[in-house]
Amino acid sequence: MYYVKIDYYVNWLLTTPYPKSDADKISWEAIKNYIKVEQNKKFPYPLVFKYYQDPKTKKFGGWFTKDEGVKVVRDLKIWCDSNNIHLEFSPSAIKRLDEILAYEDRAKFALTDLPTQPIAGVTTELRPFQYTAVEFLKKAGGRGLIGLEPGMGKTLIAIAYCEAENKKAIVICPSQAGKTKRSWEHQIKEHTKSSSTVMYSSTPIDLAKLISSKYIIFNYDIVDKFSPLIELLVTKAGYTVMILDESHKIKNSKTDRFLAVEPLINKVPHRIELSATSIENKRQDLYSQLHFVAPEKFPSREIFKDKYCGKWNWRLKRPVKQTKAQLNQLREDISGIYFFRDKRKYLLELPPLDKETVWIDDEKAKLIADTVKHKQQQYFALAKAMMPYTIEFVFNTAMEQTTQKIILYSGLTKIVDELTIKLNELQEGCAVSHHGKAGKQEQAESFTSFIKDPKVKVIVATYQSFSESINVQHISNYVVYNDIPYTASKLEQGWGRIHRMGQQFPCYCRFMGFKDTYHEDVKELVEGKAQDNKKILANRETNLSYLDEVEESVKEGDSDV
């Protein structure tokens, strides 16, 4: 048996936080001088060379970072194990190295597909990719982000994990006028025999009734109010799983939503996040979600920006010059906690989704684009100018293409109300509106009318109010955007309401846009962001050529928040 002594510097690599400056980096020469190989066993220098070879000169030498040093030690351990060499580490270094190897093992597992097996407590047969996701969560110790596309059954995966591990869970989800919480209650009842309790802001606390339920469902906006109760349930009543549905809702680490759940990170051992659009607009949207699942790997936003997001441009107020190396590092670092599957590959029975932009050539719109310089005012003016074309399209094209109902989106509450009035003037009772400025009762009535009233053909809605957890694939297959959204996630969340499991008809998605206005640039930019975001999360090859060029030309005005 040969022995290799790993001295202070290698233990430092494995146990200290990510270095903040070059002064905290360590040279290979320093490490080599502290590694002693007994009985003249040849040291595997090629394992080290590949991490600090200069990509331009192809020469070896110089500095390498903590991350590269960790990989050196990992490869060294694998090599030593295969050559019957025992490594001496400190206990903390051994623990850290075991975590690294387990993380990489999960990353490989995330790419596999397992045949479905029955899960005790689950009455519904899971699809193979759903079963694989459950097993992935089990290997990850119940800490992961399930990033399946809309309509692929993320809720069932989280429920199946809790049933498979026989664990009690606290679910936190968006409100959406109560629809999301009722959807969770319905799915728990449909897929299991377990009990659940839905909490509202006015719900009286009956502790005995609560702890008899396996699932307790809150919405984000009441978590702060019930935080003492949630902490009691977690620490004293055995609720060891916390599920954040639509986890991109906590993307901003300064909001009340994130601040309400952050104290629970170290108290809840199993933390699961569900989101089809983890990156809503920019890469930094991931930080809070990754921190919630793996705070030891993603300890601070500053480190996250420095490591993955490029240099900060104070004029543009965003990172620029994002490199492919940073992208690859991010993909590698999230691969052990992020689970993704492509809808087109795994839901082969799903009808096609036809996406197309309806370009309008209008001199008035060009004049608005040239004369109105304030972006928010220009957005509103162009949205208003588009209304007659949208209404004409809905009546003369959309209603001719489908016998199903139609979802019409706008980012502006005023435009939603005006479109609804104009549609009903042309055909009485054909449209209802749905936005956040209406009360919950009014939203519920609009949604019910859209679902059940045969006279109602169109629901006119804002992106925020009619998105996550609203499933209308059984009555609708057509989505129209009166104004193009500026966030990639709103595109996907919009058509995700119809293009999901259970859809029987071909789906249509139409974007209304004016030629020779910023609509053309924004459409290209948003679609490019959506594509690259998916490539980041799906661990695919990514084309970053546009990232150094594009400026964030506008920010969305509105809204119904």
Mean of all residue pLDDT scores within the chain = 80
Which tokens sit at 64?
């390498």
CA distance 345 to 355: 18
Q: Which of 16-20, 82-86, 281-285 has the highest mean pLDDT?
A: 281-285
Best CA proximity match to 513, nearest among 502, 527, 524, 523: 523
Average pLDDT rounded to a whole number, residues 471-481: 94
Predicted pLDDT of residue 253: 82
pLDDT surpassing 80 at residue 137? yes
Least confident of 30-39, 116-125, 211-220, 475-484: 30-39
C-alpha atoms less than 13 angstroms from C-alpha of 145 in its C-beta half-sphere? 27
Report how far apart the first and last C-alpha atoms of the chain are (Å, whole number): 67
What is the predicted pLDDT for the residue at 394? 95
What is the average per-residue pLDDT within 251-258? Answer: 86
Residue 446 CB coordination number (10 Å)? 24
Nearest Cα to Cα of residue 469 among 277, 330, 199: 277
Nearest 5°: phi and psi at 456? -80, 115
Predicted confidence at residue 108, as pLDDT, reads 83
Work out the pLDDT band at 313, boundaries 50, 70, 90: low
In whole angstroms, what is the distance from residue 508 CA to residue 499 CA? Answer: 9
352-537: in CATH 1.10.1200.10: no
What is the rounded CA–CA span in Å between residue 401 and residue 479?
A: 12
CATH number of 119-345: 3.40.50.10810
Average pLDDT, integer, range 45-68: 49
Confidence label for 520 from pLDDT (cuts 50, 70 and 90): confident
The residues spanned by each domain of the chain are: 2-107, 119-345, 352-537
pTM for this structure? Answer: 0.80
> CA separation (Å) from 399 to 356, 425, 479?
16, 16, 11
Fold match flag (119-345 vs 352-537): yes
Q: Is the pLDDT of residue 552 over 90?
A: no
- Residue for token digits 């107020």? 317
DSSP structure string for 459-484 = EEEETTTS-TT---TTTEEEEEESS-
85-88 and 196-198 strand pairing: unpaired
**Is pLDDT at 529 greater than 50 in this prediction?**
yes
Q: Going edge to edge, which strands form the sheet with 458-462?
A: 353-360, 507-514, 476-481, 405-410, 458-462, 431-434
